[in-house]
Amino acid sequence: MLTELSIHDFAIIDEVSITFNDGLTVLSGETGAGKSIIIDAVQLLAGGRGSVEYVRHDAKKAEIEGLFTIDNKNHPIYKLSKEYGIEITDAQIVLHRTITANGKSICRVNSKLVTLAILREFGKTLIDIHSQHETQSLMNPETHIELLDSYDPVSIAKAKEEYTHLFKKLSTLKHRYEKFNDNEQEMAHRLDLLEFQMKELEQANLVPDEDDTLEEERLSLANFEKIHTALMDAYNALYGEQKGLEWLSVAQQALQDNSNYDNFIAEKSEEVSNSYFTLEELTYDLRNHIESLQYSPERLNEIESRLSEINRLKKKYGSTVNDILEYMANIEEEIEEITNKDSHLTKLEEQINETAKDAYLEAYQLHNIRRKAADFLMKDVHQELKGLYLEKASFSISFDHKQQERLIQNNDYTSIDLHKNGFDHIHFLISTNTGEPLKSLNKVASGGELSRIMLVLKKIFAKHQGVTSVIFDEVDTGVSGRVAQAIAEKIFQISSESQVLCITHLPQVAAMADTHKLIKKREIENRTATVVSELTAEEKIEELSRMMTGTKLTETAKEHGKELLDMASAFKNKKSG
C-alpha cells in the first residue's frame, strides 16, 4: 500500500507530506483546494506524462516521492525488481519523480535511476487510478479486451505470451515477403548494389580479428627502440659480472653452505635456489627474444596501408573486421535469395502459412480461455450491479470475429484476421431497462450508469490484479440518494481487498472512510498553498455537515452528519462481523 507521499513545488503545492493508512482514505475539500492535484502527483509517480506546467511558479523543479509497503512476497513487484536489478529491503519500494523547469524528467526506484517506461511498469503494479476520464474509456470498445484479460491475468497472460511470440514471427515473415516481392526494377537495383559490395569485400580478403592483430603489430614496430632498450636493460641488470644473478648466486651459496646448522637457513636456502633458477630461465628468455627482434620499416608501411584500407571499409560496412565479415555473409545470403527469388518466395509462403496456422491455434486457445473468463465475469457483474440499483440491467460480452470455418477448410490460415490480441474483438454490451435490447455502452449508459459499471469492474478486478492501491478521483459525480449510498458501500468493500484513496464530494462516501483528510487552500506569504490535515471524530461530523449543506453549519446538519457516520459504522461493523 501507499504509506507516505511527499510533494514539493508541484502546481500550487509548496510542500506537503501525507501519511496514508490501510483501508479507505477519503480526501475532501472545496473545489480548487488541490485534491485532484494530489492525484495528478500520484499519477506522475506511477509513470504518467509530465509537463513543465506542473512545476510551481519560480521553482527550479517539482519533486514527488512515494513510499509503498508490499508485505505479499508473491506480489509481481518482486519479480519486476529482480528483472531490473533493484533491491527491495524491509518490503518497501520508493518511487521518485523529478520534473525540472526546463522539462527534464528524472525517475528513480529505490534510489536507482530508471527510464520513464520502467517507472511506469512499477507504477502499474502498485497503483490503479480510476477517474472520470477512465470511465469514458469504457465507451471505447478497444479497451474492452484488455479489461477482460485483466480478469484472469494468470491464465490469459500465459496463453497470450505463447500467441504473441508466434504473431511477431508471422508479422516478420509477412514483412520479409512484402519487401522481397517488391517490383523487379527495385530488386535489380538492390542486386547490383549488393554484388558491387560483395566484389569489394572479396577483393579485400579480410581475415577474422585482422584489425586487432595488425594494431598490435603496428604498436610493437612503432615503439621498437623503446622495447629493445627495455629488454636490454633488464637483461644486463640480471646477467654478467657483479649483476643480479651473480649476487643471487652468492646468497644461494652462503645459505647452502650453512643449511645443516639451522632449519630456517635450510628452508630459505631452497627458496633462494628456486628463485635463482627461475630468474636464470627468465634471463635466457629475454636474450632469445632480443635476438628475435627485427625492425622493418617496410613492414610498418605495409601495416599502415592495410589498416588504412580496413578503416575505409569500416566506414561503409561495420565497426570491426568481424562485423564486416558478418555483413558480408548476410549480403551473400541476400544475393542468393534475390537470384533465386521464385524459390525463396515459395519457401516464405510455406513458412507464413505454417506460422499462421500455429498462431491461429494459439489464438483459438486464447479465445477459449477468454470465453470462460467472460462467463464468470458476466455473472460477477450481474451480481454486483444489483447492489448498485441496476438490478434490471443486463450485461453481456460479445465476441466478434470473421467467419473462419471456410478459410480453415481451405487451409488458408493467412487470411484469418489475426491481431496482437488474437482474433477476438471484444465488446461490452448492456441493457439498463427491462425489454431493451443489448447495445454498446456509449449508446445506452448514462454518466451515472457508466460510473457504476466501472466501479463494479474495479471491485471485481481488485481481487485479481494484485494492485496495492486503488485511487478514485470523483467517480461519484452525477449520482445521489440511495445510489450514492450504494456506491459508498461498494467503495468500502473494495478497500477490504486493496488500500483505497478516494476524492469525493458525497457525504455518504466520506462517512465510510477509515481515515478522512481535509484539503484546504491557504495564502502563505502572498502565495497560494495547499494544506492537508487529518480530521478528528468531531471534525469528521463537521465536514460531513458541510458536504451536505454547504458552508453554513447548523445543529440539524451536524445531527445528520453524526447520523450518517453512525450508519456507516454500523455497515462496516456488520461487514467485519
For residue 89, what is the DSSP state? Answer: B
* Residue pair 377/358 in contact by the 8 Å Cβ criterion: no
* Residue pair 535/514 in contact by the 8 Å Cβ criterion: no
- 30 Ramachandran zone, left/alpha/beta (phi>0; psi -120 to 50): beta
Average pLDDT of the residues in 66-95 = 88
Residue 242 has pLDDT above 90, yes or no: no
Report the C-alpha gap between 445 and 17 in whole angstroms.
39
What is each CA distance from 437 to 396, 432, 434, 443, in whole angstroms? 11, 9, 9, 11
Q: What is the mean pLDDT of the chain?
A: 86
pLDDT the model gives residue 132: 61
Residue scoring higher pLDDT (35 or 248): 248
Residue 485 has pLDDT above 70, yes or no: yes
Query: pLDDT grade, residue 384 (50/70/90)?
Result: confident
- The H or E element containing residue 518 is strand 515-524
pTM: 0.61
What confidence tens digit (pLDDT) does each residue in 388-414 have? 888 888 889 998 766 676 777 777 788
Query: pLDDT grade, residue 358 (50/70/90)?
Result: very high
pLDDT the model gives residue 551: 66
pLDDT the model gives residue 114: 93
pLDDT the model gives residue 476: 65
pLDDT the model gives residue 202: 94
Query: pLDDT grade, residue 39 (50/70/90)?
Result: confident
Residue 576 has pLDDT above 90, yes or no: no
What confidence tens digit (pLDDT) does each residue in 105-163 have? 999 999 999 999 999 989 888 887 777 655 555 677 887 888 888 888 888 888 999 99
As a whole number of angstroms, the longest Cα–Cα distance in the chain is: 119
pLDDT the model gives residue 204: 93
Report the C-alpha gap between 340 and 330 in whole angstroms.
15
Rounding to the nearest 10 degrees, give the CA dihedral for residues 459, 460, 461, 463. Answer: 90
Question: Which ranges of 181-262 would DSSP assign to H, the alpha helix?
Answer: 184-204, 210-222, 224-238, 244-257
Residue 199 has pLDDT above 90, yes or no: yes
Residue scoring higher pLDDT (359 or 432): 359
pLDDT the model gives residue 30: 81
Range scoring the smallest mean pLDDT among 12-26, 71-85, 181-195, 270-284: 181-195
Average pLDDT of the residues in 315-332 = 94
Residue scoring higher pLDDT (173 or 549): 173
The percent of residues in the chain predicted with pLDDT above 70, rounded, is: 93
For residue 351, how many other CB atoms are within 10 A of its CB?
15
Residue scoring higher pLDDT (468 or 100): 100
Range scoring the smallest mean pLDDT among 342-351, 416-425, 547-556: 547-556
3-state secondary structure 385-449: HHCCCCCCCEEEEEEECCCCHHHHHCCCHHHCCCECCECCEEEEEEECCCCCCCEEHHHHCCHHH
For residue 48, what is the DSSP state? Answer: P
Residue 559 has pLDDT above 90, yes or no: no
Query: pLDDT grade, residue 376 (50/70/90)?
Result: very high
pLDDT the model gives residue 67: 93
Helix (H, G, I), strand (E, B) or coil at 23: coil
Average pLDDT of the residues in 300-309 = 93
Which of 67, 73, 74, 77 is CA-nearest to residue 111? Answer: 67
pLDDT the model gives residue 451: 73
* Residue pair 421/160 in contact by the 8 Å Cβ criterion: yes
Range scoring the smallest mean pLDDT among 187-196, 341-350, 455-464: 455-464
Residue scoring higher pLDDT (453 or 228): 228
Average pLDDT of the residues in 57-75 = 88
Which of 302, 279, 484 is CA-nearest to residue 388? Answer: 484
